[in-house]
Amino acid sequence: MTPAGSNENGTNNSGAPIDLARLDATADRLSGDSRFANIVAEPPVAPEQLRCVYVDRLYPASVETARIEFVWFENGDFSIHYHETHRSGSFDHRWDRHPSTHNTRDHIHPGPDASTPGRDASHPQDWRDMLSTVLTEIDRRQRELWPE
């Protein structure tokens, strides 16, 4: 699995600088959200991503951990990676906007394995709308994990 915002070679997909102000704004927006146990910019100096760990109570016991990682670029590109660790494996889903040889600029690498190529998509232009879209999709995923 490659870090959020990186291609298979570990390099930046966008070619643009990391948007530190947007990482900070995302951290501020989510810091009061009770869904998250931990929100950390990584690495601490000159961060490249924001990692948000979900609280355990949102998941059945079969899910050991869940997190979302945000990478925002100054040109409006992004990579948002959702990951669950299960007793019997993992689940990964990624929302991307960046130049790509395998999909259109806006695309999704759907779960369970976030495989490449992904699916072409049309993401909201405003990062706040994208954040809301992603959190809503994850909320839906969380509800689906619980037995009826």
Using one digit for the tens of pLDDT, what is the confidence trace for 50-100?
999 999 999 999 999 999 999 999 999 999 999 999 999 999 999 999 998
Secondary structure of residue 25 in the 3-state scheme = helix
> 47, 46, 48, 40: which is closest to 67 by C-alpha?
40
pLDDT of 10? 40
Distance CA 52, CA 50 (A): 7
Distance CA 18, CA 31 (A): 20
Residue 10, C-beta contacts closer than 8 angstroms, at least 6 positions apart = 2, 3
pTM of the model: 0.89
Tell me the residue length of the chain: 148
Q: Which residue has the higher pLDDT, 102 or 55?
A: 55
- pLDDT-based confidence at residue 7 (cuts at 50, 70, 90): very low
Cβ proximity of 68 and 52 under 8 Å: yes
